[in-house]
Chains A and B, each alone.
Chain A
Amino acid sequence: MFDFLQGYDVLGAFWTTVKLTVVSALGSLVLGTLLAAMRVSPVPLMRGFGTAYVNIVRNIPLTVIIVFSSLGLADIFGVTMGASDNFDVQGFRLAVLSLVGYHAAFVCEALRSGINTVPVGQAEAARAIGLSFSQTLRLVVLPQAFRSVIIPLANVLIALTKNTTVAAAIGVAEAASLMKTMIENEAQTVLIAAVFAFGFVVLTLPTGLVLGWLGKRLAVKR
């Protein structure tokens, strides 16, 4: 029944998907945190820059960003991410660059919403009992913010996992591009689709369940 899988490296394709997801997740967490810090800073200009970045990037389709990274950045501006001779590595790195730039905006919004769930009264009370500025942040505000940020961040991570398929548009050999090849060359359309769908369910469902449970458990009940 599953003999059509022979000759195709399905696990290898999903391994590429996993690598894309993990590397991009780490990257967007770093960049997103930086953007969130800008958006909640006391400097109006930085706030404006963060807001502009988020609003611009959120409204451009990821497909446009990824295709541009190949046709624009790589071909015209010569941004080859240190792999000008190896097309596969270059595609992978460009995809990571695009995924990081795109999802950083969503990470930033998730973090900001977490900080916004902490009532101002908490900080006021902390200052009232004589805690210093850094103690207020360290002991009162940030612990509460981190707890309420788990579920939104989990949603970003799940979306990122699914969005790695867009890398197929620039020829990165991940799950969706292998599915495209297989579905065109083999007869079992429904079975092949089911195999790949199952692969993504395996990748996204545990993430959602585990982080959702953790988020619910840690959330500050108000």
Chain B
Amino acid sequence: MTSVLYDAPGPRAKRRNVVLSVLFVVLLGLLLWWIWLVMDDKGQLKWDLWEPFTTADAWNTYLLPGLWNTLKAAALSMVIALPLGAALGIARLSDHRWVRVPVGAVVEFFRSIPVLLLMLFANELYAKSANVASEDRPFYAVVTGLVLYNSAVLAEVVRAGILALPRGQTEAAYAIGLRKGQTMTSILLPQSVTVMLPAIVSQLVVIVKDTALGGVMIGYTELLVARSTLAANYANVVPSFIVVAVIFIVVNFAITSFASWLEGRLRRGKKSTGAVLSPNDATIAGTTATGAGGGAI
């Protein structure tokens, strides 16, 4: 049996599958043909709408700077949010109630708020009461919002990563006389890094997707905003959307594939306990892959 849902197909099932395949291909073909017709009807297939993307100008002036801004904000947010998240995650595992409870409340609070609210709040706070140059403000606000939200999400990843290690690790550490702090820093943390890596890498996808929100709502000139200036210049709204979507897909798919490859490698690794958090592990509630302020998913 290949699947829990059905047996290996016999002659009749094979015939039925072929019939279903043919039907499906016909339906899919009709759908694609219809999309093509509608695109053609509205003049979206004209070469002069697509031609700019074959020139260096469109890429150097609009798309690449936009993509650079997207990746810059995402990378910086990740770099700041990771240590913060690690600290919060470890604090949530504390034996002291007075540490565990408030930190837990903070983490849960920031995980249940849309990232857009945090970006808007940070943007306004910088505008009213901080000394930030107005052209830098959107960038600061986007990074601040992403850091606040994602450090809470990563705190959960770190906590789940440490909890995923076999109990024997802690027990062995106590048995040879290590203290709590020593156990955490020299036994648990080093091992949990490999456990968490895939989940952390896939959180990058969420961050990259959320930067687009900062572009539209608070004017950070990332890829989606760069698209609108490009479309205003070449009058090619639909083609520019398609190109930008493809860029996002390529970037995020590369990140996701890297995370899966990492996961597989770590699972087979000789040096680890074999515990690995999958990138879409259900234990990391919230937004594991959502993005757009929703994260998790």
Contact = CB atoms under 8 A, between A and B. Distances in A.
Interface of A: 40, 42-46, 49, 55-56, 58-64, 67-68, 71-72, 75-77, 102-103, 106, 109, 113, 115-116, 118-120, 122-124, 127, 133, 137, 141, 151-152, 154-156, 158-163, 165-166, 168-169, 176, 179-180, 183-184, 189-190, 193, 196-197, 200-201, 204-205, 208, 212
Which of A43, A62, A64, A184 lies at the interface centre, i.e. has the most chain B CB atoms within 10 A of its CB?
A64
Given A62-B292, A106-B290, A165-B116, 13 more contacts: A45-B21, A46-B20, A59-B252, A59-B256, A63-B292, A64-B212, A123-B1, A158-B286, A166-B116, A166-B292, A176-B117, A184-B124, A189-B121
Nearest to A141: B4
Contacts of B256: 59
B241 interface: yes
B141 to A, nearest CB: 12
Nearest to B28: A49
A42 B297 CA distance: 27
Contacts of A46: 20-21, 24
Contacts of A201: 109, 112-113
Interface of B: 1, 3-7, 9, 13, 17, 20-21, 24-25, 28, 38, 42, 44, 108-109, 112-117, 120-121, 124-125, 128-129, 205, 208-213, 215-217, 224, 237-238, 241, 244-245, 248-249, 252-253, 256, 280, 282, 285-297
Given A44-B21, A201-B113, A119 B249 contact: no
18 contacts: A42-B17, A44-B17, A45-B21, A58-B252, A60-B209, A61-B213, A64-B244, A71-B241, A77-B42, A106-B297, A133-B6, A155-B287, A162-B113, A165-B293, A169-B216, A201-B109, A205-B108, A208-B112
B216 A63 contact: yes
B291 A120 contact: no
B3 A40 contact: yes
A196 B112 CA distance: 12
Contacts of A151: 282, 285
B83 to A, nearest CB: 24
Nearest 9 A/B pairs, CB to CB: A159-B294, A62-B292, A163-B294, A59-B252, A159-B290, A61-B209, A61-B212, A159-B297, A63-B212
A127 B3 CA distance: 13
B5 A137 contact: yes
Q: Tell me the interface secondary structure of chain B in the complex.
A: helix
Given A43-B24, A76-B44, A208-B285, A165 B114 contact: yes
A168 B217 contact: yes
A119 B42 contact: no
Given A123-B4, A155-B282, A200 B113 contact: yes
Given A46-B20, A60-B249, A189-B121, A162 B108 contact: no
B120 A122 contact: no
B17 A68 contact: no
Contacts of A196: 117
A156 B5 CA distance: 24
A60 B297 contact: no
B237 A162 contact: no
Contacts of B38: 77
B109 A45 contact: no
Contacts of A118: 4
A162 B114 contact: yes
A46 B18 CA distance: 11
Nearest to B125: A189
Contacts of B4: 115-116, 118-120, 122-123, 141
B249 A56 contact: yes
Contact of A103 (B125, B211, B297): B297
A67 B216 CA distance: 9
Contacts of B128: 189
B253 to A, nearest CB: 5
Contacts of B124: 183-184, 189, 193
B212 A179 contact: no
Which of B4, B9, B116, B124 lies at the interface centre, i.e. has the most chain A CB atoms within 10 A of its CB?
B4
Nearest to A176: B116
A195 B15 CA distance: 61
A191 to B, nearest CB: 11
A152 B82 CA distance: 24
